[in-house]
Amino acid sequence: MGFESILELMTGEGGDSSTHDHPLINTFDIVQETTFRRYFCPWWKIERFLGIGHEGSLKRQLMKLNLFIAMQIKDNKKIHELEQKGLEDKGLTSSVRKTSLFYVL
């Protein structure tokens, strides 16, 4: 339920059962697992510094997530500009969002 809410806020798409196949699920899982592992691994700062292990994976996943969010912001600005010009087209706005999602992933 939490992931579906985040996805709906970020993309504007309603959360349904199809989110189980969403590509960002893996990213959120890795971020959550690595954050949890920090409580049990005293050497996580060394891994982060060297960019290895779970911390290296976390760094790559966060870069992917940051790129996705940046693309969402850019797309939302485009959609807002289209709405301001009175050229809103439901097919165009949804295709812009879907294209940026698959570009990032």
Instruction: Name which of 105, 96, 88, 104 is nearest 12 in CA terms.
Output: 96
Q: Is 12 left (phi over 0), alpha (psi -120 to 50) or beta?
A: left
Number of folded domains in the chain? Answer: 1
Tell me the pLDDT tens digit for each residue of 63-85: 988 888 888 888 888 887 877 77
Alpha carbons 21 and 18: distance in angstroms, whole number? 6
* pTM of the entire predicted model: 0.60
Tell me the pLDDT tens digit for each residue of 18-28: 556 666 778 88
Range of the domain at 99: 2-104
- 99: its two tokens: 């294209």
Residue 24 has a pLDDT of 77
Tell me the pLDDT tens digit for each residue of 19-65: 566 667 788 888 888 889 999 999 999 999 998 998 998 898 889 88
